[in-house]
Chains A and B, each alone.
Chain A
Amino acid sequence: MKAQVPKNPVFFVKTVNTLVADGDPIIYPKILYNNQDYNQVDHEVELAFIISQNCKNIQAEHGYEYVEGYTIFLDITARKMQISDRNINLPWYRSKNFDFFGPIGPRIVNFNEIEDPHNLNIQLKINGEIRQQSNTKHMIFKIPEILEYLSKFITLSPGDIVATGTPSGVGPIQPEDIIEASIEKIGTITHKVILEE
């Protein structure tokens, strides 16, 4: 997917129906699987941070004061649907928000325990084979800038999840695949993909 380097962080929404815990299956929706126009569902491993308190209009230099900790997030995406929606200038919502499209975990590491969240190896394996491998130092917008920009728009609340974007290597998952997403100092989340019955 070719996209331009953004001038500001680009935000989109996943609704809470997407969230699943470590070890839970990712259900591959039938309406995607059975439709040739939509039958690609991709993995995207991301570093996520959790908000600790209500905040609005915060400055980058105070960003970390509002971070509870870090975790791993999988931004599962119906890629063909997303591309087809983008091509006709539609919102990105539906391709990102099927149930089970937001695995998260395996734990929240307190922000005190990770001195530099922008120097963590991040990777994703499918069936044991590495598909995404990078380091959070390559993020264009770092956590303080993301938080400063995002909090200009909305009030963030305790427990809100901000996922920071995925490195290269995104690609399709298939029913029966085992997905392992890892970030250094946080751990690994493991999910089996199961076709919806």
Chain B
Amino acid sequence: MKIGNQTINPSKIICIGTNYMDHIEETGLDVPKEPVLFPKTLNCLISNNDPIIYPKFLYNQRKYNRVDYEVELAFIIKDRCKYVPKEDVYNHILGYTVFNDVTARKMQAKDIVSKLPWFRSKSFDTFGPIGPRIVDIDEIKDPHNLNINLKLNGEIKQLSNTKHLLFKIPELLEYISTILTLEPGDIIATGTPSGIGPMQPGDLIEATIEKIGTLVNNVVMEGE
């Protein structure tokens, strides 16, 4: 897919759950001892300015009718790697971008309570806006000192800084690469800060990270 002027062909998207202390507090979840990993499938990816389609299947059911935004710093893998030591991780990163981990929240909460996987609530089509561009790794000296915010219809809902990440990029990549092989173009989303909340059809979502830019998507009801 095209992100800004670069084309990537990811084989997978790996997201990190509960990785900002302020978000951990609002979810009531435990502070993880190791990074919490879950996947999103590639069908969810959309570009800057593409619509996020609100599934009718969720909208029409009271037990499922909540879909949330989650702004995240994502990094893109540069080359095939496994067992990357912490001190070497930046040699395997192409650059940084903005990711919105759109989540069917009531469905996720229900699945979590039943100890089921998180897959279905996270991977509806269009639930993974990404962009507006990939900033080369050399252009951001410290990825852990970037303001990050999300606006819903112009109003700030999430506001934090990547310095509050519990597990930083070196620890994340070292850990993930002990489990699996990463491929060029793979997307790793580092987790969301506090302030998550629901979106409605007609809403405009602007997700911004300092030095990267703003990812803009509007929410459209499926079939309209």
Contact = CB atoms under 8 A, between A and B. Distances in A.
B120 A97 contact: no
A155 B124 CA distance: 8
Nearest to B44: A154
Contact of B118 (A31, A91, A154): A91
B115 A89 contact: yes
Given A89-B112, A157-B43, A12 B119 contact: yes
Given A17-B12, A91-B37, A97-B180, A11 B112 contact: no
Interface in A78-114: 86-94, 97-99
Contacts of B11: 15-17
Size band of the interface chain B makes with A: 20 to 34
Contacts of B125: 56, 153-155
A152 interface: yes
Interface residues of A, number: 29
Interface string B114-131: 011111100111000000
B41 A91 contact: no
Contact of A94 (B37, B55, B116, B182): B37
Contacts of A88: 30
B38 A91 contact: yes
B39 interface: yes
A92 B112 CA distance: 11
Interface of A: 10-13, 15-18, 29, 31, 56, 86-94, 97-99, 152-157
B39 A13 contact: yes
B76 to A, nearest CB: 16
A75 B47 CA distance: 33
A12 B125 CA distance: 16
Given A10-B117, A89-B29, A91-B117, 17 more contacts: A11-B120, A13-B117, A13-B119, A15-B39, A31-B179, A88-B30, A91-B17, A91-B38, A91-B118, A93-B39, A93-B117, A97-B180, A152-B55, A152-B57, A153-B120, A154-B125, A157-B43
B36 interface: yes
19 contacts: A11-B117, A13-B39, A13-B41, A13-B123, A15-B11, A15-B12, A15-B39, A17-B181, A31-B179, A89-B115, A91-B118, A93-B117, A97-B39, A97-B179, A97-B180, A98-B180, A153-B123, A154-B43, A154-B124
B19 to A, nearest CB: 13
Q: Tell which of A89, A92, A153, A157 has the most Cβ of chain B within 10 Å.
A: A153
Nearest to B42: A157
A11 B119 contact: yes
Contacts of B37: 91, 93-94
Interface in B9-41: 11-12, 14, 17, 29-30, 32, 36-39, 41
Contacts of A86: 115
B106 to A, nearest CB: 15
Contact of B41 (A29, A92, A152, A154): A154
B178 interface: yes
